[in-house]
Amino acid sequence: MNQLVKKSHELVMGKFSFSLLELRLFSLIVSMIDDRDEDFKTYRIAVKDMMKTFNLKSKTIYAEIQQVTTSMLKKIIVIPVQEEGVQKEIKSTLMSSFKYEVSGRGVIEATFNPILKPYLLQLKSKFLLYNLSNILQISSATSIRIFELLKTFEGVKQKTFSLQELKEILGVENSYSKYSNFKNKILLKSQKDLEMFTDIRFTFKEISENSRRVEKIQFSIHPNTPT
């Protein structure tokens, strides 16, 4: 498979929370963008092809897709941007519309929110590029998000996030009040997933500054050959 996902650095750093199926569908649609496109098109995805791509065997997949497309149109992403030296945030939905047969079968027609044009079309610098095959077997949305985050910084081999910023990017800022739970369910889970399924892996260092509490996570990013 040679389906490439290409997103701007700002979009990758955006704060949002998608379920696994939502993130898979969004990534699949992004992989359909032609690098030469000057404007968004209507992107058509056959449900049977989506099921094959992600090895979905659910007997209720058509009902799930109806639910997930409705949910995606309600969720907001917060994108950090710099305009004339001023830090700003864009709040927007990622998708503009979905159209499909009432039965849920056949083909989904999807359109992006036009405000995302600078973050998905004709990207020349500061962008993430990876093969969709990296995320096909990952069963956790947060593991996919961490893969995209770290893949963005693969060239510099290291990236430090405050714990709060990382939680906000992953959309779990209201969860995991205990760091130990976040570490076990997010960090260690994604560490295992990336090493098993993707072309990068990572180690991490916990940083405490003025207290014993972990305040920052320093990631070291390494090339990987999936098992």
Mean pLDDT of 10-14: 96
Residue 129 has pLDDT above 80, yes or no: yes
**Is 21 in the same domain as 105?**
yes
Same domain, 84 and 190: no
pLDDT at 55: 87
Residue 82, CB-side half-sphere exposure with 13 Å CA sphere: 4
Contact 98, 108 (CB under 8 A): yes
Q: Which two three-digit tokens encode residue 22?
A: 């939502």
CB atoms within 10 A of CB 11: 24
Could you list the residue range(s) of the whole structural domain that residue 153 is in?
137-223
Whether residue 128 lies inside any domain: the answer is no
- Specify the DSSP element, H or E, that contains 190: helix 188-197
Q: Within a domain: residue 89?
A: yes
| Beta strands at 107-112 and 95-99: parallel, antiparallel or unpaired | antiparallel
Are both 8 and 115 inside the same structural domain?
Answer: yes
Say yes or no: 101 and 168 in one domain.
no
CATH, residue 174: 1.10.10.10
Which pLDDT value is given to residue 212? 83
99: in domain:
yes
- Do 5 and 28 contact (CB within 8 A), yes or no? no
| Digit-coded pLDDT (tens) for 178-205 | 999 999 999 999 999 999 999 999 999 9
pLDDT of 72 above 70: yes
Number of H helices, E strands in the chain: 9, 10
Instruction: Give the pLDDT of residue 40.
Output: 96
Model confidence, pTM: 0.93
**Is 167 inside a domain boundary?**
yes
Share of the chain above pLDDT 70, in %: 98
pLDDT of residue 58 exceeding 90, the answer is no
**125 within domain boundaries:** no
- 176 and 208 together in one domain: yes
- Determine the pLDDT at residue 26: 96
Provide the pLDDT for residue 27: 96
Q: Does the structure show a pLDDT above 90 at 101? A: no
User: Is the separation of the CB atoms in 131 and 4 below 8 Å?
Assistant: yes
Within this chain, do residues 85 and 173 fall inside the same structural domain, yes or no?
A: no
Query: Cα(116)–Cα(94) distance, rounded to whole angstroms?
Result: 7
Model pLDDT for residues 202-222, shown as the tens digit of each residue = 999 999 987 788 999 999 999
Q: Is the pLDDT of residue 100 over 90?
A: no
Same domain? For 45 and 73 the reply is yes
Domain membership of residue 130 (yes or no) is no
Pick from 71, 94, 120: which residue ends a domain?
120
Position 2 scores a pLDDT of: 67
Residues 12 and 113 in one domain: yes
Same domain, 94 and 20: yes
Last residue of one domain, picked from the residues 120, 149, 166:
120
The highest-confidence range among 62-76, 96-110, 136-150, by mean pLDDT, is 136-150
> Residue 127 falls within a domain, yes or no?
no
pLDDT for 1 equals 54
**Average pLDDT across the chain, whole number:** 93
Domain closes at, from 87, 120, 153: 120
Task: Give how many domains the chain has, as a whole number.
Answer: 2
The b/e string for 89-108 (b: 16+ C-beta within 10 A; e otherwise) is: ebebbbbbebebeeebeeeb
Report if residue 131 sits inside a domain: no
